[in-house]
Amino acid sequence: EAQVTQNPRYLITVTGKKLTVTCSQNMNHEYMSWYRQDPGLGLRQIYYSMNVEVTDKGDVPEGYKVSRKEKRNFPLILESPSPNQTSLYFCASSFSGAGNSPLHFGNGTRLTVT
């Protein structure tokens, strides 16, 4: 089944404790992206990747890192999480970039930072 898989689905952590949210897609998509979803603010892009070893900042990149060492994986790293990073996070992928084909989303990771 074609899908975007995120793990974990739920995560509770404390301020400053490094964490990684994994994302994997099995559709051989070139483009991958991370979004956070907050009430009243909609989906906002954190980082995106056009292909392996190519990443770029989205609208809200502060406090986040990403890497794209393999085509299928695009982990989101929070080196020192803070409470304002409590949010619902979505990974997404598309065949050839945001402007050419629709995004396929994972089922989300709900992160709580205390």
Partner 1 sequence: GESVGLHLPTLSVQEGDNSIINCAYSNSASDYFIWYKQESGKGPQFIIDIRSNMDKRQGQRVTVLLNKTVKHLSLQIAATQPGDSAVYFCAENNYGQNFVFGPGTRLSVLP
Interface residues with partner 1 (CB under 8 A) are 4, 33, 35, 40-45, 48, 50, 56, 58-59, 90, 92, 97-100, 102-108
Q: Encoding tokens for residue 52?
A: 């392996």
**Least distance from C-beta 13 to partner 1, angstroms?**
21
**Least distance from C-beta 99 to partner 1, angstroms?**
4
Check: CB of residue 57 under 8 Å from CB of residue 93. Answer: no
Could you tell me which residues are beta bridge partners of residue 91? 34
**Least distance from C-beta 98 to partner 1, angstroms?**
5
Nearest partner of 108 among 12, 29, 11, judged by Cα: 11
Closer CB to partner 1, residue 8 or residue 16?
8
**Least distance from C-beta 21 to partner 1, angstroms?**
13
DSSP assignment of 13-60 equals E-TT--EEEEEEESS--SEEEEEEEETTTEEEEEEEEEETTEEEE-S-
Closer CB to partner 1, residue 12 or residue 14?
12
Closer CB to partner 1, residue 2 or residue 14?
2
